Structure 1
């Protein structure tokens, strides 16, 4: 009996659809979402990249703006030499996902602009960029 109830409840969840808050996402009013990447291990990096991809798929690339800010060990995400990760980053860039590198981290780790994937923006401080985006109404997600 418990299995049947659990199965029915699970089926109801599958039928439930997300109810959008007003104003609904649109080309003129996209959702603005910012993700940080602060850890340099493959699992952490890929989790954020996959989360950003899933959000974009759900809303549609024209109804969402995504920025991924990399600092501390997460700066590894933006290095050309990390071939597999760089391919994922470039793929997301084709959908206008912004990738932002922390200049402070770059100085600390002796990373030069030419070490980064082409198209990456550099800001003075990644954490400050997160604060400013939040104050401008961007939704901060930490997967």
Structure 2
């Protein structure tokens, strides 16, 4: 009986130990937006190409015009080389700020920013108002699970 309780206790302890990082990761996810918009879109930018970065902003703007800001909820998520779009000093900074004021959300990957900091020796500044998320790809999956359509122009 004692061996069973001990083994049971140890297995239970190990199981909870293995699950605790998952619980911590779930707690660190950015909150989902409250929205009643008919259309929910997440735009992925993971490319350093300035043309593709501008294209993502064009698509967001076109969706806002087509559906109207009250009918579409848009979040642009950057990770990998695409994070450069959301760095302070980017040529699109004023356009991003304008889109933010129109209701488009911008999220930047903290993992990527940490890797940039390691390589550069300093942490690049992100445009004010951009939300930091633990993992950009994780944020896209989180939004997709909440009913957002993923677009990668």
Q: TM-score, normalised by structure 1?
A: 0.76
Paired residue for 1:137?
147
| Separation in structure 2 between the aligned mates of residue 126 and residue 52 of structure 1, nearest angstrom | 18
Aligned length: 115
| Separation in structure 1 between the aligned mates of residue 72 and residue 136 of structure 2, nearest angstrom | 21
The superposition leaves residues 119-142 of structure 1 with CA deviations (integer Å, 9 ceiling, x where unpaired) of: 100011000111111011001111
Structure number, greater radius of gyration: 2
User: Contact between 2:37 and 2:73, CA under 8 Å: does it hold in 1?
Assistant: no
CA RMSD of aligned residues (A): 1.5
Structure 2: which 5+ residue stretches go unaligned?
1-34
Once the two structures are superposed, the pairs formed by residues 1-143 of structure 1 within 5 Å of their partners are: 28-82=36-90, 84-110=91-117, 112=123, 115-143=125-153
Shift of 1:117: 0.7
* Partner SS, residue 43 of structure 2: strand
Shift of 1:29: 3.7
Q: TM-score, normalised by structure 2?
A: 0.71
| Separation in structure 2 between the aligned mates of residue 81 and residue 29 of structure 1, nearest angstrom | 32
* Partner SS, residue 39 of structure 1: coil
| Separation in structure 2 between the aligned mates of residue 55 and residue 104 of structure 1, nearest angstrom | 29
Shift of 1:85: 1.0
Structure 1: which 5+ residue stretches go unaligned?
1-26
